[in-house]
Amino acid sequence: MIGTGVLKGMGVTFKTFVETYPWGRALLRLLRIPSPNGVVTVEYPDVKQQHSERFRYFPFLVYDQTPDNLRCVACRICEQECPPACIHIIMEKDAQGRPVKAHGRTLPNIFDIDTSVCMSCRICVDVCPFDAIEMDRQYELAGEGRFEDMVMHKDQLLRSNEYFQQIKPTEAATVDRRLAAKAAKAAASAAKPSEPAAS
Amino acid sequence: MFVNAVAWVRGLFPLPLQPWVEMLLKIGAIAAIAPAIMMYLTWLERKLIARMQNRLGPTRVGVYGLLQPLADGLKMLIKEDIVPTGADRLLHLLAPLLAVVPAILLFVVLPFGRHMIAADLNVGLLYALAISSISSYAIFMGGWASRSKFSVLGAMRSVAQIISYEVPEVLSVVTVIMVAGTLSMVGIVEAQIRHGWFVWTPWGFAGALVFFLSGIAEVNRTPFDMPEAESELVGGFHTEYSGMKFALWYMAEFLESFAICALTVTLFLGGWDAPAIPCWTLAGLLALLLATAKRLPIVAKGLGVMAMGGAVLWWGTQPIPSWIWFLAKTYALVFVLVWLRGTFPRLRIDQLMGLAWKFLLPLALLNILAAGLWWSLRDTPAGWVVSGMVLLAGAALLVLLNKPAPLHPRTYLFADS
């Protein structure tokens, strides 16, 4: 029969229209019509969307215990792997140009990431051999300045390991386990310095 | 209410001035109401279409976004007015004005309620049809003056579309004129009060459908919005307009869609007449239904019957003034307009023309025959049967004739296997 498709389509839109109101859903429940849809709008500044644990937006630098105990050694692997090249690292050096060490490792003097360039790809996290950089869930990074406020400096990027454990428990547990295994292995090889490395 | 107010204000002035005062009052009322209607039509459309798409629509400006039209208006006012290089500046300025003026003039002959019509012309319907077709000049003028390919294409489409759809629109109105025997809007509504609403007759139903569909096409609304198809022509004839001129185009479009709804209500849906089945009958039926319902608990039953009985008494006094009936019907049609927009994709240009010339035009012609048969057999049920049969058979035949020819299975000469 001609025209039934038209009426059917109009029925679908009308049902959607009714479904978005509480009274409409009550009416449909009374008529025993399933109403799976509803308003999908999230009124953003008032209400925030719930993200999964793996939601990521922007990298941060992890430190243990105190902010000067950075895991980062300024090896610049992430800087070179970053596809849009938004990371800029300069190692901390003394007057003679020799690397400065703190807690037994080198550290970055400058560590900048440009928010306006970063594309949230997480490659820096994947390539970091020290698990020093991780992805944050914070996405409200707007600033007043067009260029200067868009660049996050080292002190703005620092977050504690506890913060990491808090926002991403699963991932942080994996990282902690890996680091603990590495430390145990290092301790074992330090205890027997005469034996040559197996691998 | 409004009629009494006008009469009171008129009485304040000396006798020779009175006709002028009345005229000024009516002009003032239309000039104030028309933009207000347009502003809240935009709000209503955005809200309704949003709900149909699982969204909320404007919510931030005022409660439920009620101040959104004002904010939009302010934005339009302070926007830069850009005229393209090489455009005809005078025509570019005149075109939106020429579009708005007929749209507002249409309000002169709309009977908003009993005695609530600015001018009850004895050629009111003719006036409405004539005035509403001016907008195609405005659209073509605007498209031409913009010196832009998109604008000219949109304007050309608009002219083709409006010429095509004007024919079935006017022919579908002929039936109303035949039966009512008058061109005056008030006369048509009074004829419907005598004979029952025209939409409940076979020819009236078909006529209302043809008139409303052609009307939608005439005011370039989705799904017939070829002249301003965003995905094809940027903005069509108003591509090169910005600021207040653009707002004027929108105003013209919304006022015309409102006027089309109001005209359909006047011509087919009984105008300001209260529904043919009085509301107190419905309430009484509901009360009866509740009283005889077996499943309901006795408390709910008692309360429901009492409420409905109260409703019977209340409706019996006819508390709702005629202009509310008129506006309620018109806004119901506006809802249908938005509903159509929310449901259907845009037609292709050949489908658009095909619908007008191959389906609506023959149907409107048949409709005249059906109305004639109905009128000549008006005192017997035979009239209903005969005119209904003519229309059904005609529509079925048209559908059959318009069936697209089956495509031959394709053979690929040089393809393997």
Is some CB atom of chain B closer than 8 A to the CB atom of A11?
Answer: no
The residue-averaged pLDDT of B347-363 equals 85
CB-CB under 8 Å, B344 with A9? yes
pLDDT at B252 over 60: yes
What residues contact B12, with CB distance under 8 A and at least 6 apart? Answer: none
Nearest neighbour of B54 by CB, restricted to A6, A14, A16: A16
Among A114-123, B9-18, B45-54, the minimum mean pLDDT is found in B9-18
Angstrom distance (rounded) from CA B141 to CA B43: 28
Taking CA atoms, B148 is separated from A55, B95, B96, in Å, by 47, 15, 16
- Residues A88, A93, A95, A98, Cα dihedral to 10°: -130
Is some CB atom of chain B closer than 8 A to the CB atom of A35?
Answer: no
What residues contact A128, with CB distance under 8 A and at least 6 apart? Answer: A77, A78
CB-CB under 8 Å, A38 with B54? yes
Nearest neighbour of B399 by CB, restricted to A2, A12, A19: A2
pLDDT at B369 over 80: yes
The residue-averaged pLDDT of A176-195 equals 82
CB-CB under 8 Å, B48 with A10? no
CB-CB under 8 Å, B48 with A16? no
pLDDT of residue A1: 67
pLDDT at B296 over 70: no
Distance between B273 CA and the closest CA of chain A, angstroms: 27
DSSP A20-89: TSHHHHHHHHHTT-----------TTTS-----TT---EEEEEESSSTT-BS-----HHHHH-TT--EEE
Angstrom distance (rounded) from CA B185 to CA B118: 11
Which of A63-66's residues contact partners 24+ apart within 8 Å by CB, and which partners? A63/A158, A63/A159, A63/A160, A63/A161, A64/A160, A64/A161, A65/A160
Angstrom distance (rounded) from CA B373 to CA B371: 5
Per residue in B104-148, pLDDT tens? 888 888 887 777 777 777 888 888 888 888 888 888 888 888 888
Note the helical H segments in B317-380: 322-343, 349-354, 361-376
pLDDT of residue B146: 85
Among B65-74, B93-102, B268-277, the minimum mean pLDDT is found in B268-277
**Which strand (E) or helix (H) includes residue B27?**
helix B18-52
Domain A58-190 has CATH 3.30.70.3270: yes
- Cis status, amide bond into B223, omega within 30 of 0: yes
Taking CA atoms, B210 is separated from B9, B39, B214, B216, B367, in Å, by 42, 28, 6, 10, 10
Query: Domain locations in chain B?
Result: 1-78, 83-274+320-400, 279-316
Query: Domain locations in chain A?
Result: 1-40, 58-190
CB-CB under 8 Å, A40 with B54? yes
B340 contact residues in A (CB cutoff 8 A): 10
Per residue in B202-250, pLDDT tens? 888 888 888 998 888 888 887 887 777 677 777 778 888 888 888 888 8
A16 contact residues in B (CB cutoff 8 A): 51-54
pLDDT of residue A3: 76
Cβ-Cβ contacts under 8 Å between A and B: the total is: 40
Name the residue of chain A whose CA is nearest to B398's CA.
A2
pLDDT at B13 over 80: no
Nearest neighbour of A9 by CB, restricted to B51, B53, B343: B343
- Give chain A's mean pLDDT: 85
Distance between A51 CA and the closest CA of chain B, angstroms: 20
CB-CB under 8 Å, A13 with B52? yes
Return the SS3 of B239. coil
Q: How confident is the model at residue B277 (pLDDT cuts 50, 70, 90)?
A: low
Per residue in A5-35, pLDDT tens? 888 888 888 888 888 888 877 787 777 778 7
pLDDT of residue A17: 86
Q: How confident is the model at residue A127 (pLDDT cuts 50, 70, 90)?
A: very high
Q: Packing angle between helix B202-218 and helix B322-343, nearest 10 degrees? A: 60
Q: B55-80 as b/e, with b when 16 or more CB fall inside 10 Å?
A: ebbbbeeeeebeebbeebbeebeeee
Classify strands A151-152 and A58-63 as parallel, antiparallel or unpaired. unpaired
* Max Cα–Cα distance, chain A, nearest Å: 91
Q: B356-377 as b/e, with b when 16 or more CB fall inside 10 Å?
A: beebbbbbbbbbbbbbbbbbee
Per residue in B299-345, pLDDT tens? 666 777 777 777 776 666 666 677 778 888 888 888 998 888 888 88
The amino acid present at B415, given as its one-letter code, is A
pLDDT at B276 over 60: no
Angstrom distance (rounded) from CA B417 to CA B411: 11
pLDDT of residue B30: 81
A13 contact residues in B (CB cutoff 8 A): 52, 339, 342-343
CB-CB under 8 Å, A43 with B51? no
CB-CB under 8 Å, B399 with A13? no
pLDDT at B397 over 70: yes
Distance between B267 CA and the closest CA of chain A, angstroms: 24
Which residue from B107, B254, B267, B259 is spatially nearest to B171, judged by alpha carbons? B267
Q: Are A142 and A95 in contact (CB under 8 A)?
A: no
Residue found by looking up tokens 């658009």 in the block: B352
Nearest neighbour of B55 by CB, restricted to A2, A12, A41: A41
CB-CB under 8 Å, B342 with A9? no
Taking CA atoms, A68 is separated from A59, A84, A91, B302, in Å, by 18, 28, 14, 77
Nearest neighbour of A39 by CB, restricted to B48, B56, B342: B56
Q: A160 forms bridges with which residues in the sheet?
A: A63
A43 contact residues in B (CB cutoff 8 A): 56, 59
Is some CB atom of chain B closer than 8 A to the CB atom of A169?
Answer: no
Name the DSSP class of A197: P
Residue found by looking up tokens 């005011």 in the block: B219
The residue-averaged pLDDT of B273-296 equals 67
The residue-averaged pLDDT of B160-167 equals 87
- State how far Cα B196 lies from the chain centre: 21
Nearest neighbour of A13 by CB, restricted to B55, B59, B343: B343
Q: Are A58 and A151 in contact (CB under 8 A)?
A: no
Interface of B with A (CB under 8 A): 48, 51-56, 59, 339-340, 342-344, 399
CB-CB under 8 Å, A14 with B51? no
The amino acid present at A148, given as its one-letter code, is E
Which residue from B329, B233, B310 is spatially nearest to B272, judged by alpha carbons? B329
Nearest neighbour of A13 by CB, restricted to B55, B339, B399: B339
Burial class of residue B224 in the structure, from the number of CB atoms within 10 Å of its CB (0-12 exposed, 13-18 middle, 19+ buried)? buried
The reported pTM is 0.77
Return the SS3 of B417. coil
- Give chain B's mean pLDDT: 81
Q: How confident is the model at residue A138 (pLDDT cuts 50, 70, 90)?
A: confident
Share of chain B above pLDDT 90, in %: 0
Name the residue of chain B whose CA is nearest to A13's CA.
B52
CB-CB under 8 Å, B56 with A43? yes
A2 contact residues in B (CB cutoff 8 A): 399
Classify strands A151-152 and A105-106 as parallel, antiparallel or unpaired. unpaired
**Which strand (E) or helix (H) includes residue B246?**
helix B243-267
Q: Are B183 and B125 in contact (CB under 8 A)?
A: yes
**Which strand (E) or helix (H) includes residue B394?**
helix B381-401
Nearest neighbour of B339 by CB, restricted to A14, A21, A43: A14
pLDDT at B53 over 80: yes
pLDDT of residue B297: 67
Distance between A47 CA and the closest CA of chain B, angstroms: 13
The residue-averaged pLDDT of A107-122 equals 89
A42 contact residues in B (CB cutoff 8 A): none
Q: How confident is the model at residue B294 (pLDDT cuts 50, 70, 90)?
A: low
CB-CB under 8 Å, B339 with A37? no
Nearest neighbour of B342 by CB, restricted to A6, A13, A40: A13
Determine which of B48, B51, B403 to mutate to test the interface with A (most A C-beta atoms within 10 Å).
B51
